[in-house]
């Protein structure tokens, strides 16, 4: 059987970052920057008032209380200001440029609020309530680096440095297709021998959580031709494809039957539990990466975490490798088959981790109650309560 790490290494060697694309900043949320972004100007661009109040010369208010003449108003957005002469003040609003000659702002709360003359009750030191040009960003400073994920604050600073468009690695478009004659759409009645289809919903959600775009292509029956036709139709809009089911050792394995003859997709047994039957390769003229995951819901989910999620990071130009893990102490003894790496569903709470009782690869409700996977190495078949283990938080 193929080791888990080698399967991931093969996948990461085969996937490429998507080509950069220039997008409107409104459309950049969730994408990864493909350029360094610098500010063409200092931010703030000019010295301005941090408060509503009066622009003064600090030396004129040092002997406060004092009463001084008000020569006018400076509002946010005003330009072409006159310099402030000695013994004079001007009203000033938050964000308004500081007139030449002024070196402090007296907050309105320290005054009687006068418009022709104002009584100032307290002295203000030089520099009081002034936001200096460049104190957030100097002209030419890089504010965002290539490789940064764009969240709301990053969209904000892109606009703040005057950008309308930005070069990003787009979110990969991932089509998720389930197979199985037994699958019924949720919301429709269950016939005899049927189950509601859950994998494509779960995997499309996992794709979105991983920063990509997940499209659910629904499910097809176990007819290889129907599978292939649906896949062909979906390839047009896909940067990657995930299928579930139809890759095991039985009969009626449409994914394996349809893709094996192409010679571009490899089906293998990976030394892991759950999730042993795995397939990976490329399909179509554009050689779109395809992950053919096993059908059992827990198996497909674990396969996503171990193999697909790192690949989606690589496609976004992000550092990619095995999922991050922590260490914790197990609250119960663990069992694991020899020669396979186990990923046991568990609840991680601080320093301890409790395996859930139902560990079947079909037991999706148990997965939904878990928040972590305990990793038991290939050469370990049992561990006592209190053992330190590796844990992948979900
Ligand atoms: P397969 O890998 O196709 O042999 O499926 C293995 C098991 O997973 C079977 O019990 C299937 O009924 C179940 N299964 C396969 N696909 C799905 C799906 N999309 N949603 C829920 N269960 C599934
Ligand atoms: Mg099946």
For 150-191, write each residue's pLDDT tens digit.
Answer: 999 999 999 999 999 999 999 999 999 999 999 999 999 999
pTM, 2 dp: 0.88
Q: How far is the CA of 198 from the centre of ligand 2 (A)?
A: 13
**Residues at CB less than 6 angstroms from ligand 1:** 178, 180, 182-183, 195, 197-200, 219, 244-246, 248, 294-297, 362
pLDDT tens digits, 244-282: 999 998 888 999 999 999 999 999 999 999 999 999 999
Dihedrals φ, ψ of 40, to 5°?
A: -75, -15
CA distance 244 to 294: 5
pLDDT, tens digit, 9 for 90 and up, residues 281-299: 999 999 999 999 999 999 9
Cα(222) to ligand 2 centroid in Å equals 7
């Amino acid at each position: 059987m193929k080791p888990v790490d080698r399967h991931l290494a093969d996948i990461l060697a085969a996937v490429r970052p998507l080509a950069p694309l220039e997008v409107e900043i409104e459309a950049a949320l969730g994408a990864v920057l493909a350029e360094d972004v610098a500010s063409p100007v200092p931010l703030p661009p000019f010295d301005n008032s941090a408060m509503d109040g009066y622009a003064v010369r600090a030396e004129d208010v040092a002997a406060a209380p004092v009463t001084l003449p008000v020569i006018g108003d400076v509002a946010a957005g005003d330009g072409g200001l006159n310099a402030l002469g000695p013994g004079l003040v001007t009203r000033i609003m938050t964000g308004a440029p500081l007139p030449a000659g002024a070196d402090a702002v007296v907050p309105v709360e320290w005054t009687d609020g006068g418009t022709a003359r104002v009584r100032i009750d307290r002295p203000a030191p030089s520099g009081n309530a002034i936001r200096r040009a460049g104190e957030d960003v100097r002209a030419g400073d890089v504010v965002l680096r290539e490789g940064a994920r764009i969240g709301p604050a990053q969209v904000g600073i892109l606009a703040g440095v005057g950008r309308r468009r930005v070069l990003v690695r787009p979110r990969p478009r991932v089509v998720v297709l389930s197979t199985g004659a037994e699958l019924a759409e949720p919301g429709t009645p269950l016939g005899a021998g049927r189950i509601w289809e859950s994998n494509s919903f779960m995997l499309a959600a996992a794709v979105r959580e991983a920063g990509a775009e997940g499209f659910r292509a629904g499910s097809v029956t176990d007819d290889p031709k129907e599978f292939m036709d649906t896949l062909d139709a979906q390839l047009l809009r896909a940067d990657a494809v995930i299928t579930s089911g139809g890759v095991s050792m039985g009969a009626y394995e449409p994914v394996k039957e349809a893709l094996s003859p192409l010679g571009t997709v490899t089906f293998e047994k990976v030394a892991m539990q759950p999730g042993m039957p795995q397939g990976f390769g490329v399909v179509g003229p554009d050689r779109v990466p395809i992950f053919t995951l096993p059908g059992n819901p827990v198996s497909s989910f674990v396969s996503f975490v171990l193999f697909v999620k790192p690949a989606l990071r690589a496609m976004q130009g992000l550092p990619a490798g095995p999922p991050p893990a922590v260490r914790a102490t197990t609250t119960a003894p663990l069992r694991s088959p020899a020669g396979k790496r186990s990923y046991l569903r568990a609840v991680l709470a601080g320093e301890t981790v409790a395996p859930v009782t139902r560990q079947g690869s079909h037991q999706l409700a148990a997965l939904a109650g878990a928040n972590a996977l305990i990793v038991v190495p290939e050469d370990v078949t049992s561990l006592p309560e209190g053992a330190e283990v590796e844990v992948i938080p979900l």
